[in-house]
Amino acid sequence: MSQTVHLDGNHLTLAQVAAVADGAAVALTDEARQCVERSREQVLRFLARGEVAYGITTGFGAFKDRIIPPQQIADLQHNLVRSHAAGVGPPLDERLTRATMLIRTNTLAKGYSGVRVIVLETLLQLLNRRVCPVVPAVGSLGASGDLAPLAHLALVLIGEGDALYQGEWLPGAEALARAGIAPLALEAKEGLALLNGTATTTALAVMAVLRAENVLRVADVSGALSLEALRGTTLAFDPRIHDVRPHPHQAACAANLRQLLAGSTLVRGYDPHDIQDPYSLRCMPQVHGAVRDAVAVARERVTVELNAATDNPLIFEQGGEPMVLSGGNFHAEPIGLVMDYVALALADLGNISERRIASLMDACCSRGLPAFLTRHGGVESGLMIAHYTAAALASENKVWAHPATVDTIPTSANMEDHVSMATTAAHHCHRVLDNVERILAIELLCAAQGIDFRRELIGETARLGQGTRIVYEQARQAVPFLEHDAPLAGRIELLTRLICGGDLALPPLEEGQE
């Protein structure tokens, strides 16, 4: 990719994280270099004074009272990286690992971590030359930093661990050699600075927010298509209704639905014999809008975290003298809570989509559509079991939406006596997203089938809305009308890939968004 993202520690965006995850190059600004150099000078001055500072001249965690002699400070940093590389499970995918490296580099670029510029330059070499450390997904408690995953990343920086290079899984030293990168010899504070932060959790959160925003756009259009297939009414989206309950995202969702459905002849107007629709159609602005609220909060929190100093200790200057302050910015509670919030909200987005699918299946609810959307009911089952799959996914989400942050297990001899479990929350959020993307794919499959039958019932005057028509046509290019029973799994996966690839013609959630 030709785009280069310039890091200054203060202005990294979610869109830039996604660009680097996809291969964009990265560089440090001159201002960031100067900040990092000043911070390193403070560490050197502090070491020269021989004072005690956590993680610089002491051990870690419960070993905070063990003073390390100067000749063993480099060993301290290397041993920290090696001992903390205790992650398990399948590795993070390359995009998430690249996002993690970028976020950690941006944190160090703020100039409060006391590392040398070469540490940041080596991280950027890994990114720009496509060396991807193999980082097991499981092991972080979301407090004291993402210690285990970041240790596996740091192992490759010092020529150990494992990495992917040009599609091959290699020992870290060999991957560096092939890419022409010299391994780092860590000095005071540098191993701790690489490990002590929320970069992995934040990378997961960035990708979750971006996926969630895409899912919200899809949910509006899949719901609008279902409304047309079910001959629902747009009266519930009248702006006057939403003006008197002024939740901004609710009103924005209603406006989006009106835009998507503008010009449709499949929807019905006022009918005294059929005044209103079930909640899953009528309350889309209220439900989808509330989910938008959750995702918007998460975007705000994650943007702050992208540009935060999450190391410990942090290096400051006071009255011309270096100052080392120990705190807890590595505690990922702000990210863990919003990941739990988003997972819960997205699970409900899947719930309401599943209810629309159920209405499409049920001849008693679908206003004239054939049961299970097949012409040959009895001898054929139509889309019956697609709904079963959606119900299974929605039910599974009720497990993944259980908040991870309500749990904590004390570690490090009770020194780390409250942890956030934020990384687990972020992983759970991704599992919910996996399921909701497939539920929405099933809704697109069923809504398109229902629309084809509805068009037959209405005849030549049948016309989709200005927004729904485009997405319907895209869905039909991927998956044609089902005239007779056939395996549905492949069709669901085709539509899921269409959703996940961001290829659907969807309006943005709101003006001014990245």
Distance CA 74, CA 293 (A): 47
Residue 73 has a pLDDT of 80
Q: For 154-180, what is the mean pLDDT? A: 97
Asked whether residue 289 falls in the same domain as residue 433, the answer is: yes
Residue 331 pLDDT grade (very low, low, confident, very high; cuts 50, 70, 90): very high
Same-domain pairing of 169 and 254: no
pLDDT score for 297: 98
**Is 435 within the bounds of a domain?**
yes
pLDDT digits (tens, 9 = 90+) for 271-292: 998 999 999 999 999 999 999 9
Residue 441 has pLDDT above 80, yes or no: yes
Q: What is the pLDDT of residue 145?
A: 87
User: Between the CA atoms of 267, 271, 274 and 277, what dihedral angle is there, to the nearest 10 degrees?
Assistant: 40
**Nearest partner of 510 among 252, 170, 152, judged by Cα:** 252
Q: Note whether 296 and 332 are same-domain residues.
A: yes
What's the pLDDT at 503?
A: 85
- Domain end: 154, 180, 197, which one? 197
Q: Is the pLDDT of residue 513 over 50?
A: no
Question: What integer pLDDT is reported at residue 2 of this predicted model?
Answer: 59
Same domain, 298 and 361: yes
Task: For residue 322, tell me if it sits in a domain.
Answer: no
- Number of folded domains in the chain? 2
Provide the percentage of residues in the chain whose pLDDT is more than 70.
97
Task: Give the pLDDT score at 64.
Answer: 67
Per the structure, the complete domain to which residue 296 belongs is given by 205-310+327-500
Q: Are residues 353 and 454 in the same domain?
A: yes
Instruction: Provide the pLDDT for residue 62.
Output: 63
Residue 512 has pLDDT above 60, yes or no: no
**In the structure, what pLDDT confidence band is assigned to residue 510 with cuts at 50, 70 and 90?**
low
User: Is 321 part of any domain?
Assistant: no
Question: What is the CATH classification number for the domain harbouring 17?
Answer: 1.10.275.10
The pLDDT value given to residue 201? 98
Determine the Cα–Cα distance for residues 111 and 442; give it in Å rounded to an integer.
Answer: 49
The predicted model gives 444-449 an average pLDDT of 98
- The CATH number covering residue 392 comes to 1.20.200.10
pLDDT at residue 76, rounded to an integer? 85
Residue 61 pLDDT > 70: no
Greater confidence (502 vs 397) lies with 397
Distance CA 231, CA 24 (A): 46
User: CA torsion 390→392→395→401, rounded to 10°?
Assistant: -80
Task: Please give the backbone phi and psi of residue 91, each rounded to the nearest 5 degrees, phi first.
Answer: -70, 155
Is 168 among the domain residues?
yes
- Is a pLDDT exceeding 60 seen at residue 14? yes
Q: Is 54 a catalytic residue?
A: yes
Does any domain span residue 167?
yes
| Whether residues 164 and 242 fall in one domain | no
> How far is residue 489 from each of residues 21, 351, 494, measured CA to CA in Å?
30, 20, 9
Mean pLDDT computed over 182-190? 94
**φ and ψ of 357, to 5 deg:** -60, -45
- The answer to whether residue 241 sits within a structural domain is yes
pLDDT over 80 at 102, yes or no? yes
* Residues 216 and 172 occupy one common structural domain: no
Domain boundary among 197, 218, 252: 197
pLDDT of 47 over the 50 cut:
yes
Q: Can you give the pLDDT at residue 511?
A: 43
Q: Residue 254: is its pLDDT beyond 80?
A: yes
Q: Are residues 249 and 140 in the same domain?
A: no
Contacts of 93 (CB under 8 A, 6+ apart): none
CA–CA distance, 306 with 103 (Å, rounded to integer): 6
> Hey, is 65 helix, strand or coil?
coil
End residue of a domain, out of 162, 197, 232: 197
Are 176 and 28 found together in one domain? yes
Choose between 319 and 111: higher pLDDT.
111
119 shares its domain with 56:
yes
3-state secondary structure at position 88: strand
The answer to whether residue 433 is domain-embedded is yes
Whether residue 417 sits in one domain with residue 458: yes
pLDDT on residue 434:
98
Is 221 part of a structural domain of the chain?
A: yes
Shared domain for 226 and 300, answered yes or no, is yes
